[in-house]
Structures are given as structure tokens and as C-alpha cells.
Amino acid sequence: MRKNIVAGNWKMNNDLKATRKLVKQIRKSIKGEDLNNTRVIVAPTFVNLATAVKRSKKSKLEVAAQNMHQATNGAYTGEISADMLKSIGVKTVILGHSERRAYFGETDALLAEKVNAALANKLEVIFCFGEELADRKAGNEEAVVEGQIKNALFHLDANAYKNIVLAYEPVWAIGTGETASPEQAQDMHAFIRKTLSAKYGNDVADSVSILYGGSVKPANAKEIFSKADVDGGLIGGASLKAEDFHAIITAF
């Protein structure tokens, strides 16, 4: 059975002190909780990953990185490799976030390389993709999403999907307060599963967790997560407050 996942993408927020505090609060908030098949992940900035890993040990909280470089090592000033993440106990990496695509020029081809590097190092990948507002207005959202998935992931064999989580994040809903309706999310998630099934068969399609991301809040999480093909959320703004994040985790 595929897992539900609630993952908090902290982006460029929280210094060391704030990281310690928020990790502690989240740990505490889920300690006695029956998480009902739900994994809970937070993704702090690179400099605070080691602290977050240390401080979430022996708890139900997992830690992910927000990005990584595709090369093993070498002259890539300012970059971080999969191996480095692994060496501090990180097991999951977010790749393809729309902010990485928009502000740092990450293309599907580059992301395919990053996915390969992550999987080769036995890191789990939370792979993000989603259409822009203009795509949706033009009725092209399915074609765009299909292209992003095919270009970055369809070179993989079926076995690789044991370590892939998909995160559908319509760009127009990220950090805007505008959320896809539960029906829009369900329609797209069902389409994504159909696309996976056409390439890899039903077993793979049914086993991959597909998260929704885009202005998920305590007030709308329950309805979005109630949809059959929505297996959780990638949460930005609302993951920065322990109380809101906890309310979203327990929305399942």
C-alpha cells in the first residue's frame, strides 16, 4: 500500500536557532500521534540539515534536502552532492521545485541527471512538476505535466519508482494563497497515475505516492487529502508554523 506523506519545504527560511525550535515542536507534536500510514518530512536549508537530522533521530520525523547537484564531486563552487547529503544522514531530496526551475534555470534534462545521481546514491526523490497559469488557461495543463514527467523520469526502469515520490504543484497555486480545487487536484493526479500506468503498468502506477502542493493550509488539507489519488502534500508557507503543519499532518 502506498504511503501518505506530508512534507514541509522550508525554502530559504529558518536560521539555526529557528530550525532547532521548529524541529523540536514538530517532533513533539507527532510523538503520541497515530500517524495513520503517514510519513512526515521537513526540508530545511543545506546549512541546517545536519542539525535537523540529529535532532529528529529516534522520532517519526524525517529530513529531506531541497536540492542537490548532479555531479559526484569537483569544481562546482557552492554546490552539494548526493554523497554529501547521504554522509550526514539525509535520505530524501526534493528535485524540480518550480522555484528551482524558474530562478535557477533547471530544465527537465538537467533534472533527469539529478534524478539519476540521487537514485544512484540511494536517495529517495520527491520530484516536483506542474503547469503555469497560462498553460491552464490554454487548457494545456495535462500536456505540460505529461512532458515534464516523461522528460525527466521516463528513462528510468520500473524498479526505480520504489524511490520516487511525485509532487504535482501547479505554479499558479504556490505561495499565492490560490489552491487548486480538490477536484482539479484529483483530476490531475488521476491523469498522472494513468500516464505512469501506460508506461509502467498498474502496479507501479498504484504504488507511487503523488503529493499535491500549492497553498495547502489547515483549512483545506482535509478536503484535498480526501481525494482518491492525492497521497499527501508538499507544504511551503504552512510548514513554517508547527501548529499549522501538525493540523495538516493530522488531516488524513
Active site residues: 97, 169
Q: Which DSSP category does 74 fall into? A: S
User: Measured between alpha carbons, how far is 113 from 238 in angstroms, rounded to an integer?
Assistant: 30
How far from the centroid of its chain's Cα atoms is residue 115's Cα? Answer: 13
What is the amino acid identity at position 26?
A: I
What's the min distance (Å) between Cβ of 14 and ligand PEP?
A: 14
Measured from the CB of residue 177, what is the shortest distance to ligand PEP in angstroms? 8
Cell numbers found for residue 107: 530544465
Of 89 and 218, nearer to ligand PEP (C-beta) is 218
Q: Report CA-CA distances (Å) from 206 to 36, 165, 230, 241.
A: 19, 12, 12, 32
User: Distance (Å, rounded) from C-alpha 201 to C-alpha 206?
Assistant: 9
Beta strand 232-235 with 4-9 is parallel
**C-alpha–C-alpha distance, residues 153 and 133, integer Å:** 23
215 interacts with ligand PEP by CB under 6 A: yes
**Minimum distance of ligand PEP from residue 138's CB (angstroms):** 22
The binder of ligand PEP chosen from 23, 63, 204, 234 (CB under 6 A)? 234
Of 61 and 234, CB closest to ligand PEP: 234
CB of 238 to ligand PEP, least distance (A): 6
236: contact with ligand PEP by CB under 6 A = yes
93 binds ligand PEP (CB under 6 A): no
184 binds ligand PEP (CB under 6 A): no
Q: Is there binding between residue 169 and ligand PEP (CB under 6 A)?
A: yes
Residues forming the site for ligand PEP (CB under 6 A) = 9, 169, 174-175, 213-216, 234-238
